[in-house]
Amino acid sequence: MNEISLLITGQIRSRAGSRDLNFELSKSNKILKSLNSKNEIVLSTYKCEIEGIDKKNYDKLIINDDPGPDFYRVSPWPIGRNINRFSTNYSRMFSTTVSGLKACQNEIVIKTRIELIPSESIKFEKWIENICEQIKTSSLPRIAFLSEHYNGVIFSIDGTIGTIPDTIQISRKDVLLEIWLTSQKFWHDNFRSLTRKTILFPITSEQIVGLNYLSLYCNFSMTKELKKLRRYYFSRQLVKAVVKSENSYFIWTKYKDSGLSLNRFKGTYEIVTPNFIKINSSTQLLKRIAVVKIKKHYHILRRYINSLRKLNNP
């Protein structure tokens, strides 16, 4: 079994809610150590998030300074709740992820959240061994994630493309660190441009990570496109980079096969994803682009209708 680091970032205790967090971490720790004694659990969070967590359940704890929320208009009225419509925690996410990755000692890292940690030993072992094999036997910067959380050309839920899910990612440490360091700098340096008031739907965290991945490894130039970047940004150059990553770089995995804990993401089990075949023809590509465009308009309309209903029926 390959040596792996399980990196849990961001909020810990507050996300766990009423669950017995010590039991959850203890179970995950036992699963990991049974596979390889050099496997480790690294927590990267804030001081207020670790109260009551037993130190025996993890190997390293990184306490970060809190950069605070990022204030700007996230979505237009009336979409979203008021508390979520004017700020995000992207800077917090970048800081905890980068510091946590730097602390990991193993070559393969599972970057995740407290809601998605090993829970079923047999399923998890089979799942992670298959992913590690695909990463280790390739010279490409391959990255694995849950296909149910993905938005791209081959499969899209809401019409966005150029994303990499940030809920859970598995890759070599050097690849993940380069992606997240680059994304952190990009967000910090271009915050004003990316969040200006003229943009109704600003770029998402998954797009920041995804676009920087495409910029690093798939010849996508963000410098020229900076002023155009937003949630539903679309270009021929981007489509070309996305298709390249989907065909050769991404490792598609499913939640049902992972052996990860089932709690907050129960709805993910209901998402039906296609078999991820390569896009090899212009006809096939045009059909997928048409679906993405339809999904975009449908998703926006649905969000507006749901928000208006909530306003009329508080």
Percentage of the chain modeled with pLDDT above 90: 78
In angstroms, the Cα distances linking 53 to 14, 34, 39 are 12, 22, 19
C-alpha 192/C-alpha 38 separation (Å) is 43
pTM: 0.94
Per the listing, tokens 């800081």 go with 95
Q: Which pLDDT score, from 0 to 100, does residue 265 have?
A: 75
Q: Which pLDDT score, from 0 to 100, does residue 81 have?
A: 67
Give the β-pairing of 108-112 and 169-172: antiparallel
Q: Which pLDDT score, from 0 to 100, does residue 271 have?
A: 81
Between CA 70 and CA 81, with CA 76 as vertex, the angle to 5 degrees is 70
User: What is the DSSP secondary structure assignment for residue 72, as one 8-state letter?
Assistant: S
Q: Domain ranges for the chain, please list them.
A: 4-312
Between CA 150 and CA 199, with CA 177 as vertex, the angle to 5 degrees is 50
Q: Which pLDDT score, from 0 to 100, does residue 144 have?
A: 98
Average pLDDT, the chain: 92
Q: How confident is the model at residue 2 (pLDDT cuts 50, 70, 90)?
A: confident
Average pLDDT value for residue range 18-40 = 92
- 4-312 CATH fold: Spore Coat Polysaccharide Biosynthesis Protein SpsA; Chain A (3.90.550)
| 239-278 pLDDT tens trace | 999 999 999 999 999 999 999 998 777 777 778 787 777 8
Higher pLDDT, 27 or 15: 27
In angstroms, the Cα distances linking 45 to 36, 66, 82, 96, 105 are 25, 9, 26, 6, 18
User: What is the DSSP secondary structure assignment for residue 84, as one 8-state letter?
Assistant: G
Q: Which pLDDT score, from 0 to 100, does residue 268 have?
A: 77
Residues β-bridged to residue 5: 40, 109
pLDDT at 18 over 70: no
Q: Which pLDDT score, from 0 to 100, does residue 277 have?
A: 77
Angle subtended by helix axes 205-217 and 173-189, to nearest 10: 120
In angstroms, the Cα distances linking 147 to 154, 163, 185, 257, 302 are 11, 11, 27, 11, 23
